[in-house]
Structure 1
């Protein structure tokens, strides 16, 4: 085999049989080899960013490493936003870029040469901060070694994306027939016995314990074990956004998601706990708020994670930390005896869940006599299959989705860490191509939808049965709400200075079905079968995210603000003082 054929055979051997790409001269040999391989399939995207986001989706829906292939220069740099998305959400993916022949490179001619070969770009240096590993291979022997090494790195420890840059001369060089396969690098963790001892110590004296379920639980594939442990122990639990996909939301211990856009009851429970066990969450500022000193002030916070670098930052907050490969978590939990929470705490948690869980309403939509985004999401939730794949984009639209959607056997995800606009459409394409047996819903705001709107052609060309929902408020709603709070309602660049097209005409141009939704009853099952469709949901531009935290406040004091009596009832165990003056809706 030559280098290009070797890459194709390697991908087939490791099970990454689907490659997302856009062609170009520097990657043409590799594309040809993939096209000729009987076990591989390639899909042409209209933009490399879309290909990278589709690759990101594969691990989330099928625990398969997604692969992209791009040419040198702009082809490679166009991948970066999608690569960064995988990096921040700990998603393994493999990105292969073509590079100019080494004799045509700037390195061959001298270190100070800006560019020698056509479209030569130092992509490895560019992506190093947002990959676990990036390397340019310089020989056939390096290609064998580095492919296996990179794949192993991507799927070990705290997972993430890797990039291999392959010059054209290496693509054509003779490699041989022996394929070097990756081995999983074991995570170097503390002894599980010590972690078990530390967790027992945290829970020993706890009267008001709560568990925070993070994405690490699901990414490691141990979600069933954790759900069963929580059911058996009787401990209440809350979730990060990224963790929400990995359990049935009717689990008796589940209280709701936490954070800036979290459920009020879940935020109250976490803030009033005296012990918080965090499993696989990095506790970013959308969970704890920008003022971390107001997070769970009455609790011992104990974080269990696979990433030592993440754990290091919590020591500054006075948290207990435990480094653990989550493959060891099920056995550890089986040995973790827990006492039942106090009756007072159980009653309080039940009251918070009864009062707030799945009760979000849009007071702004009611005032404006407009569709409520929460009603729209609940209706979609009730119509689609219980194992549907639902992919959120970003902005106000994804906040409404995560506040109102209830997971049964669904797969629900969005690009939480990097949060790029334009993710949901190409990610839905990747999901549908790899899981054609499942219903797929791409859920977008009208602003974010534009960023990769060209991928509607990829949907049409492959005739992918994807329902593309657009929450159309004619603006960037999440930014407008920020400007309401801090810029006296000056809507520069969020409404003023931009406009949006006729999505019906746009759908027609791509040969897709279209439905304009102005009343809730127009959302019916027929929309979600029968081929790709754009579902255009018309909202008032003043529709708000409710509730939403404003700066400087603890996560249990969200806008629209509760009365003093209701706020006090929520803070039964720990006092969180609030400013005397509160903004009105």
Structure 2
């Protein structure tokens, strides 16, 4: 069978089960775009910026567990997409980015938009390569799917020289669809783990990271209930265990509940399931001593290189979460019974008090009350996305995730992520509500993707928290340089007029009581919409106002 390089790209994508690819069209890969005309199995979503396209692919990879796909051009196109690759790398998201390159005859001449693909992306991917021979596309692109999904998932970047995509080669057979490879715990490790937990008096689980699925989450719920173990979820992994579960005790992330932080310090044994134990989950590496924690540490992670990176565990186990939880759910409780039930109950009580929407507000809009309304009215499968900013603290603290893959957010703290992610979520699950939380600064980084949502039929509800400042940076600025404001004020457009220009439904909320009606009107419209929520800049976090931060800095 004779195929062009561009046709082989689509052949392999179809063979691997791809049905959607995000990107911005470029002249360097016209042969792939042409091949997609004859591949209706794959929908090409043309974003308005390559960074947004990469964010969409990352969200799609998170939601499916299969590699999100992004197609961009050389030089500036790939550079624009870099932020999405960084997200996928830190978030352990399976993702494949295909980059159209200059022709092979023009390399090393600094030709138009030429750049060093491996030098730029090599440190932020699991694998970066250039396919110079069209005959090797089946081999190398199939390998990209295997690498992106096996072990600790992550991004792969493949360069596609423009002239290579036009070459005609003979292909006899395509490789079969890959099966991701995940390690499993050894029987002896499970015996050691059971013994360490049985000897504990105040154990605690931190769950997060990737390689989870619905079965793994269900098994975590069963294991925690059987062993009565308190479970905290790592930063932006709050959907690994339902917030309604009696063992769920909150999220170990930014703006952590002080009581939970102290409980992690006081635990005598910590079982970490899938989380990397980065600075956000450990409060800047302060909840556990580096490199040897005072708590006995059991670290389970799909990447052996991650175990012992910062913390030397008492027991390290290389395993994917699906295999690990399938084993844990069958583990017998201690013969002498559970001795830490009150410890778990107290941790749960701390969480319930912390997550009750009763935070004070300095203006007429109380975001905690709005989150309380969403807890009462949103279906369990509603998908919430966000980027970065202090507005996310209200979402993480007060919203109660009850189902796996209802939280799609970057652990890398990337602004502008929420809207592209919500669009990808709506396209992947059109039957579910897709809700983007954004600040005025975060939203303006990718707001042009409202046009993408309209063009491809995505339905998203944007909850736009507008306080006129870059809240997180202002908070740190006031802590370190009180009353010396520089660069942290935001000038914004008329968001109501902007939404109407894009053809969206729109509402403006200036006091808490207006939110319910505004939300229900937009939800029932069947269209994408924006709810601009005007918040007081004093409300930097649910716990600290701008004035308090300034006062504490004196």
TM-score (norm 2): 0.91
Q: Aligned partners of 2:328 and 2:228: how far apart in 1?
A: 13
Given candidates 468, 475, 486, the residue that maps to 2:469 is: 475
* Cα drift, residue 62 of structure 1: 2.7
Corresponding residue number in structure 2 for 1:425: 419
Given candidates 502, 511, 520, the residue that maps to 1:510 is: 502
Deviates more, 1:482-491 or 1:274-283: 482-491
Corresponding residue number in structure 2 for 1:156: 150
Pair 1:183-2:178 in alignment: yes
Pair 1:457-2:451 in alignment: yes
Residue segments in structure 2 that go unaligned for 5+ positions in a row = none
Given candidates 244, 258, 283, the residue that maps to 2:252 is: 258
Q: Aligned partners of 2:531 and 2:31: how far apart in 1?
A: 40
User: 5 Å matches for 1:393-472?
Assistant: 393-409=387-403, 411-472=405-466
Deviations 1:469-520 (A, max 9, x none): 101111111122222222113221112xx41221112112222221100122
Contact 1:209 1:274 in 2 (8 A): yes
Corresponding residue number in structure 2 for 1:76: 78
Contact 1:269 1:352 in 2 (8 A): no
Q: Aligned partners of 1:315 and 1:349: how far apart in 2?
A: 24
* Cα drift, residue 21 of structure 1: 1.5
User: 5 Å matches for 1:84-163?
Assistant: 84-106=86-108, 113=109, 115-116=110-111, 118-163=112-157
* Cα drift, residue 291 of structure 1: 4.5
Contact 1:277 1:303 in 2 (8 A): yes
Contact 1:241 1:402 in 2 (8 A): no
Q: Aligned partners of 1:404 and 1:560: how far apart in 2?
A: 22
* Cα drift, residue 187 of structure 1: 4.3
Q: Aligned partners of 2:454 and 2:70: how far apart in 1?
A: 20
Corresponding residue number in structure 1 for 2:319: 324
Contact 2:62 2:408 in 1 (8 A): no
Residue segments in structure 1 that go unaligned for 5+ positions in a row = 107-112, 550-558, 562-581
Deviates more, 1:434-443 or 1:504-513: 504-513
Deviates more, 1:251-260 or 1:424-433: 251-260
Q: Aligned partners of 1:411 and 1:182: how far apart in 2?
A: 24
Corresponding residue number in structure 2 for 1:193: 187
Deviates more, 1:248-257 or 1:522-531: 522-531
Deviates more, 1:24-33 or 1:458-467: 458-467
Given candidates 65, 68, 75, the residue that maps to 2:67 is: 65
Pair 1:2-2:33 in alignment: no
Pair 1:500-2:492 in alignment: yes
Q: Aligned partners of 1:185 and 1:346: how far apart in 2?
A: 35
Q: Aligned partners of 1:213 and 1:20: how far apart in 2?
A: 30
Contact 1:392 1:444 in 2 (8 A): yes
Corresponding residue number in structure 2 for 1:26: 28
Pair 1:519-2:511 in alignment: yes
User: 5 Å matches for 1:543-582?
Assistant: 543-547=539-543
* Cα drift, residue 293 of structure 1: 6.4
Cα 1:148/1:346, change in 2 over 3 Å: closer
User: 5 Å matches for 1:288-327?
Assistant: 288-292=282-286, 299-316=295-312, 319-327=314-322
Deviates more, 1:322-331 or 1:8-17: 322-331
Deviates more, 1:334-343 or 1:40-49: 334-343
Contact 2:436 2:461 in 1 (8 A): yes
Cα 1:126/1:173, change in 2 over 3 Å: same
CA RMSD of aligned residues (A): 2.6
Corresponding residue number in structure 2 for 1:223: 217
Deviations 1:235-292 (A, max 9, x none): 1211113321223210111111124412344333322221111111111112212253
Corresponding residue number in structure 1 for 2:530: 534
What SS class does the counterpart of residue 287 from structure 1 fall into?
coil
Q: Aligned partners of 2:172 and 2:359: how far apart in 1?
A: 62
Cα 1:476/1:315, change in 2 over 3 Å: closer
Corresponding residue number in structure 2 for 1:279: 273
* Cα drift, residue 431 of structure 1: 1.2
Cα 1:457/1:527, change in 2 over 3 Å: same
What SS class does the counterpart of residue 468 from structure 2 fall into?
coil
* Cα drift, residue 298 of structure 1: 5.2
* Cα drift, residue 324 of structure 1: 2.1
Cα 1:463/1:141, change in 2 over 3 Å: closer
Pair 1:388-2:386 in alignment: no
Contact 1:256 1:265 in 2 (8 A): no
Contact 2:410 2:417 in 1 (8 A): no
Cα 1:32/1:199, change in 2 over 3 Å: same
Q: Aligned partners of 1:153 and 1:68: how far apart in 2?
A: 16
Given candidates 339, 342, 359, the residue that maps to 1:341 is: 339
What SS class does the counterpart of residue 210 from structure 2 fall into?
helix
Contact 1:209 1:236 in 2 (8 A): yes
Contact 1:55 1:93 in 2 (8 A): yes
Given candidates 356, 369, 378, the residue that maps to 1:359 is: 356
Q: How many residues are treated as equivalent by the alignment? A: 540
Q: Aligned partners of 1:304 and 1:205: how far apart in 2?
A: 19
Cα 1:560/1:334, change in 2 over 3 Å: farther
* Cα drift, residue 83 of structure 1: 1.1
Corresponding residue number in structure 2 for 1:267: 261
Corresponding residue number in structure 2 for 1:564: none
Deviations 1:50-91 (A, max 9, x none): 111101111222333211111222112211111111111000
Deviates more, 1:371-380 or 1:216-225: 216-225
Contact 2:99 2:158 in 1 (8 A): yes
Contact 2:16 2:178 in 1 (8 A): no
